[in-house]
Structure 1
Amino acid sequence: MSLRIGILGAARIAPTALVKPASSHSSVTVGAVAARSLERAQAFAARHGIPRAHGSYEDLLADPDIDAVYNPLPNGLHGRWTRAALEAGKHVLCEKPFTANAAEAREIASLASSSDRVVMEAFHYRYHPLALRVEEIVASGELGELARVETAVCFPLPKFSDIRYDYALAGGATMDAGCYAVHMARIFGGGETPSVVSASARLRSPRVDRAMTAELRFPSGHTGRVTCSMWSSSVLRISAKVIGSKGSIAVFNPVAPQAYHRFRVDVAGTRRTEKFPRRASYAYQLDAFAAAVLEGAPVKTSAADAVETMTVLDEIYRAAGLPLREPS
């Protein structure tokens, strides 16, 4: 069996997230790409060795030789085109954040649950052995009772014309970087969905945040903090820390550990470090997507899981006094 994937949009992330890992995957081929113009799609296809190009997203969804779609469109378009793909009978690997807001996420999750198609949010880090190891250590009780989890995803994006700063496309630092920080806080914090105690934004424009910090409280009683930015004094900070009654885990670069990572566990006065494979997180993600479609394997970043993350993102925006993002 094989899985034939089409790309919705000639996005810059697509070669790294899908084309390259698919090139070494025995069961996956990238069969087509669509763009808003046929010329752009053809240029992208020629550059990356993709056999077919479509001049509209509708044409790709109607392609009978495509089993699934990868949706890396702007945030505000994720819901619309994931919905359209499901209605066309395609499986979907959708980039994060899953939708523009929690209400839209619930709608798509309901549609996904009533279909026999796989819908998976592309939190690639979640499938890397490093993330699985954090989850394993926390679940084992080695750290004792959880007290606090802190996650940060900060990187510089000084190009303020970038679509990630565009409110009309559901932009903002909390959407683009913060969705990682929130998701990691949920997963590394014992798998619970926290409530938002407070949030403070730094703005690029009246409705669009360039940085955000939020304090969290989890149902079991432990606390958390998420920090994210696309332009702030925290130029580059990608980290996670889990603190328990017996010890802690500190991770540098849990998002893309294949580039570089540090993983330290401190328990009862003893410190150890652990190392993980340099295989790309995107390759592990594609393994999981293919296994879900071809073998019925479970999906860790399901549409239902995405609803939980989007709920927290909405709460952060409300707590910061900003409007929720809306579908484009």
Structure 2
Amino acid sequence: MTDRVRIGVLGAARVVKQALTDPAKSAPEITVAAIAARDPARARERAARLGIPKVHESYEALLADPDLDAVYVPLPNALHAEWSIRAMEAGKHVLCEKPIASNEDEARRIAGVAAKTGRVICEAMHPLYHGLFDRVAEIMADGTIGEIRHVSARVCFPVPNSKDIRWQYPLGGGALMDLGVYAVAVLRALAGADPAEVTHARAKTRVPGVDRSTDARLRFPGGATGRIKTVMWGWPVFSFTGRVEGTKGKLTVRNPIAPQAFNRIVLETGGKKTSEQAAKLPGTYTCELNAFAAAILRGEPLRTGPEHFVPVMGVIDEIYRRAGLPVRGASLSARSE
């Protein structure tokens, strides 16, 4: 291990530029060193475009590269668990795109392999590494809004292209999978706890088994309630909001999933409304890469390790069951009891 983490990329997905190569320029302990794709020609094209120095002819060859410390996995959802596990078993640390697994069972298997191999595993839930959530945590801790009564998160973004992988059940598609992981992550961050149970859920589908929208009600320890809404096709078209209602007031977070673009924290207490903005820079992806490197090089804790992604996938699974849809990774013809 050097004083930098050398990362190889599994796949030539569009998100690599936004989530890795561009923010790595501002992350002093990260080097993007190699890439591999199913189509080697596409890997070479992407490497030239993004300035990645080495191209491997296969995923297996990249995992066997002794000059790499870690792997970034931006593959379709259904492949996240398989290649995260294979990477850790090959001795690599892993930064995997969200959702890190198709379901809770897969998430637990990933966590188990991480514990066995001693490798760092991080779900790329980049918003949680931004200073916006540090500031929200400070406000929640000082008792400004009192005891929490209700927490909600709404994440809505249109995906009109019916051929997009997010509409394909075998690849782990669905509004809850693509956007719901953000909503559950925001809900946990605002509540400071995991939901005790999912009390109700309903979903609308656009293609068999694939939700275009979900609406779920939850209950937290202590009696507080929660709600998440995710929309990939329908109304509202755009919405990125988290809210906490307490015994003394209300806190609203605008754009919690992309605070580097814009954000706002609005407090309503004692009949008064105030607002503030957390610093936009560094961006969420750079913050995430810095934290990933610190975990590998110095053993610093991560916000989105197994203690985060295992319960998140448990909530996702239960919402699907409550809504009468199969969990991802199950047979499309199967329906949960």
Please indicate the TM-score interval, normalised by the length of the shorter structure: over 0.9
Per-residue CA deviations over 1:221-270 (Å, capped at 9, x if unaligned) read 10010000111121001110011101111111010111112211122223
Q: List aligned pairs for 1:1-328, cutoff 5 A.
A: 1-279=3-281, 280-326=283-329
Partner secondary structure for residue 321 of structure 2: helix
Which has the larger displacement, 134-143 or 119-128?
134-143
1:12 CA drift (Å): 0.9
What is the rounded CA distance, in whole Å, between the counterparts of 1:259 and 1:134 in structure 2?
A: 17
Unaligned runs of 5+ in 2: 332-337
1:327 CA drift (Å): 7.5
Partner secondary structure for residue 114 of structure 1: helix
Amino acid at match of 1:147: R
Partner secondary structure for residue 92 of structure 1: strand
Runs in 1 of length 4+ with deviation above 3 angstroms? none
Q: Is the 8 A contact 1:99 1:327 kept in 2?
A: no
Structure 1 residues 262, 273: closer, same or farther in 2, change over 3 A? Answer: same
Per-residue CA deviations over 1:259-318 (Å, capped at 9, x if unaligned) read 112211122223221112222111111111011111110011112321100000000000
Partner secondary structure for residue 125 of structure 1: helix
Q: Is the 8 A contact 1:75 1:170 kept in 2?
A: yes
1:24 CA drift (Å): 2.2
Unaligned runs of 5+ in 1: none
Identity among equivalent pairs (%): 50
Amino acid at match of 1:129: G
The RMSD of aligned alpha carbons is 1.2
1:206 CA drift (Å): 2.0
Amino acid at match of 2:222: S
What is the rounded CA distance, in whole Å, between the counterparts of 1:116 and 1:327 in structure 2?
A: 29
What is the rounded CA distance, in whole Å, between the counterparts of 1:60 and 1:194 in structure 2?
A: 41
Amino acid at match of 2:233: W
What is the rounded CA distance, in whole Å, between the counterparts of 1:327 and 1:215 in structure 2?
A: 23
TM-score by length of 2: 0.95
TM-score by length of 1: 0.97
What is the rounded CA distance, in whole Å, between the counterparts of 1:150 and 1:290 in structure 2?
A: 32
Which has the larger displacement, 25-34 or 132-141?
132-141
What is the rounded CA distance, in whole Å, between the counterparts of 1:164 and 1:55 in structure 2?
A: 27
What is the rounded CA distance, in whole Å, between the counterparts of 1:228 and 1:109 in structure 2?
A: 27
Structure 1 residues 128, 71: closer, same or farther in 2, change over 3 A? Answer: same
Q: Is the 8 A contact 2:63 2:92 kept in 1?
A: yes
Per-residue CA deviations over 1:1-42 (Å, capped at 9, x if unaligned) read 111011111111111111011112222110001100110100
Partner secondary structure for residue 78 of structure 1: helix
Partner secondary structure for residue 307 of structure 2: helix
Partner secondary structure for residue 171 of structure 1: coil
1:54 CA drift (Å): 1.5
Amino acid at match of 2:320: Y
Per-residue CA deviations over 1:205-230 (Å, capped at 9, x if unaligned) read 12110110000101121001000011
